[in-house]
Amino acid sequence: MTSWTQENLQVAGAELAIIKGGSGKPLLILHDELGYPGWMEWNEELSLDRTLIVPLQPGFGKTPRLDWMRNYRDLAGFYSQVVREMRLEPVDVIGFSVGGFIAAEMIAADPKIFSHMVLVAPMGIKPTEGEIMDVFAVTIRHHLRATVADPMNTPEFARIYGGEMTPEQFEAFEDARSETARLGWEPYMHNPSLPYLLRGVRVPTLLVWGARDGVVPWGCIDAYRKAIPAAQVARIENVGHRPEIENPIEFERTVKKFLAA
């Protein structure tokens, strides 16, 4: 098992908790709206030849909330400062769900910040058809269940989210949902101007989507393809919103091949 550490840095004028593990060229990971669930199989595989850098979003885990942030564009600007102060740019990035939204906002503002961009089931652009799931209208249990196509046959899902939820876990999830609602409630989990600002992006981009995704519809991928015509698309069959844990072998193979190109 690759050793990883968590450290709290004073960066971009704030305190930020960061998970680091592996060795080699840096790879920035932007977690989803439920937070970073811990070191998983896909982390382990990618860390064999990359140094994974996983910031815990303000308001999540041990990173204090930043009240001045009002939307995901603000958060993207903050992360861009973090990347510059850590002297990472240009850096490869993988953004999951709302993390993909954040990565897209970052590159829209600074096209040179990333060298490769992987967006996994990204929110951020209004879908051409279908709707992003209203996660605030359901319980956290329902929300978690909706992120995978077959939880009974997804061992890492059971390991991370199975069993009775402790009061501490419940509070952490509700804190995450509260912060997500604060930043992304209106307009719901997208920015109407983002597709226009992505025009002209030339950074190699990969859009990863599970064919049974019940959270982010194909229409979001279609919208990103229209905004970034050169983007590649990897559709992974028989998985939902979290292909990295539902089919880690295919996810790892797809991402590693793209990043090596």
Q: What is the pLDDT along the chain (261 residues), one digit of tens a residue?
A: 668 999 999 999 999 999 999 999 999 999 999 999 999 999 999 999 999 999 999 999 899 999 999 999 999 999 999 999 999 999 999 999 999 999 999 999 999 999 999 999 999 999 999 999 999 999 998 999 999 999 989 999 988 887 667 788 888 888 999 999 999 999 999 999 999 999 989 999 999 999 999 999 999 999 999 999 999 999 999 999 999 999 999 999 999 999 998
**What is the enclosing helix (H) or strand (E) of 136?**
none
Classify residue 47 by burial, with Cβ atoms within 10 Å: 0-12, 13-18, 19+.
buried
Q: Which residues have a Cβ under 8 Å from the Cβ of 25 and sit 6 or more positions away?
A: 49, 50, 51, 92
Cis peptide leading into residue 229 (ω within 30°): no
Tell me, yes or no, if the pTM score tops 0.85: yes
Supply the Cα-derived Rg of the chain in whole angstroms.
Answer: 17
What single DSSP character describes residue 114? E
Domains and CATH numbers, the chain: 4-260 (3.40.50.1820)
